[in-house]
Amino acid sequence: MGHSVEVTKDWNGIDQVVLRNARGASAQVSLHGAQVTSWRSNQGEELLFTSSKAIFKPPKEVRGGISICFPQFGNCGSPEQHGLARNKIWTIDKSPPPFGSDDSYGKSVIDLLLVPSEEDKKYWLHSFEFRLRVSLATNGNLTMTSRIRNVNGKPFSFSFAYHTYFSVSDISEVRIEGLETLDYLDSLCQKERFTEQGDAVTFESEVDRVYLSSPNIIAVLDHGRKRTFVMRKEGLPDVVVWNPWEKKSKSMMNFGVEEYKQMLCVDGAAIEKPITLKAGEQWTGQLEFSVVPSSFCSEHLDPRWRPFE
Ligand code: TA6
């Protein structure tokens, strides 16, 4: 069996795309929000968390997977928490404009498109074309590339995040490397700015932070499963780290009380300094996820890695 791309229907009759590589890995992308609802390794292990209490009912996003936060992260006084993109039905983009290099070679690829309707413009007035490419490589790596073009007459600004729920063995066995010494805005303290003091980020209570201007490569080490997620990003200076812990979990409707132990959100994002696009301009933000045995890590993480070269 080689690479494949298959379109099926989900429970709500909405199209979902299943990408497969030749070695057993897969990724599932719903046209509802362009949300990645599953990513499985070459060994068939699920790598993303989805709540057992998740509600699969559009227009709301599903609690888990990877959702797209655009044109804002958070709610900024608007009724749509994390923006409209994740609550819209996207279409399959049959003729995406070419990428600089042939990005699809040896991969299973789907291109999706979101263009706002007149109704959407009541909420966010600007005209844009949002193209998302999701690809699965032979080594099982998952890449998401967003290209957002201003097709408005005038400039607009936005913030952005790939809101990613990793599946972990036990949150107390997990640490993040790559964020040490950085400044972060603490959403639990009115977005006050602090500096990370630890050698790595570890978890023993609720955490909700935006780490600023981070390196392009960070690692989430899961001791319990002896596996490490490596996140390489481009165009996304910030990293959101979130775990609701026990008390907040109880107040979340579509989330099990104990589930905070099995998940960790680490989002490649552009939040502190919004992106501004002039008429006709395009922005690109890319994330590549890989999973490796923990023994493999650290010395193999090359901070000079750049996806666009
Ligand atoms: O920082 C991440 C965050 O904004 C948290 O404040 C928390 O509310 C979380 O996202 C929830 O996001 P979701 O849309 O998945 O419910």
Question: Cα of 129 to ligand 1 centre, how many Å?
Answer: 25
Nearest CA to 82 out of 98, 64, 70 is that of 70
Question: Cα of 93 to ligand 1 centre, how many Å?
Answer: 29
* Pairwise CA distance, residues 271 & 211, whole Å: 10
Nearest CA to 85 out of 136, 172, 168, 144 is that of 144
Cβ of 242 less than 6 Å from ligand 1:
yes
Cβ of 262 less than 6 Å from ligand 1:
no
Across the strands, what pairs with 9? 15
pLDDT at 123: 82
Cβ of 74 less than 6 Å from ligand 1:
yes
**Residue 43 zone, left/alpha/beta (φ > 0; ψ -120 to 50; rest):** alpha
Cβ of 307 less than 6 Å from ligand 1:
no
Nearest CA to 291 out of 101, 25, 64 is that of 25
Cβ of 260 less than 6 Å from ligand 1:
no
Question: Cα of 131 to ligand 1 centre, how many Å?
Answer: 24
Question: Cα of 120 to ligand 1 centre, how many Å?
Answer: 22
pLDDT at 307: 44
Question: Using CA positions, which residue lies closest to atom 4 of ligand 1?
Answer: 74
Q: E-assigned strands of the chain?
A: 4-9, 15-20, 26-30, 36-40, 66-69, 91-92, 107-114, 128-137, 142-150, 156-167, 174-177, 183-186, 192-195, 207-211, 217-222, 227-234, 238-243, 263-277, 282-293
Question: Cα of 232 to ligand 1 centre, how many Å?
Answer: 22
pLDDT at 296: 60
Cβ of 148 less than 6 Å from ligand 1:
no
Question: Cα of 208 to ligand 1 centre, how many Å?
Answer: 8
Q: Which atom of ligand 1 lies closest to the CA of 244?
A: 7
DSSP string spanning 64-96? BSEEEE-S-SS-TTSSSTT-SGGGSB-EE-SSP
Question: Using CA positions, which residue lies closest to atom 13 of ligand 1?
Answer: 63
pLDDT at 79: 65
Nearest CA to 295 out of 226, 219, 222, 202 is that of 226
* Pairwise CA distance, residues 18 & 23, whole Å: 14
Length of the chain: 309
User: Tokens 């819209």 map to which residue?
Assistant: 88
What letter would DSSP give residue 106? T
Average pLDDT per 10 consecutive residues for the chain, totaling 309 residues: 88 93 96 96 96 84 93 77 90 90 82 93 90 96 97 94 98 96 97 96 98 97 96 98 97 94 98 97 97 70 47
Cβ of 82 less than 6 Å from ligand 1:
yes
Cβ of 20 less than 6 Å from ligand 1:
no
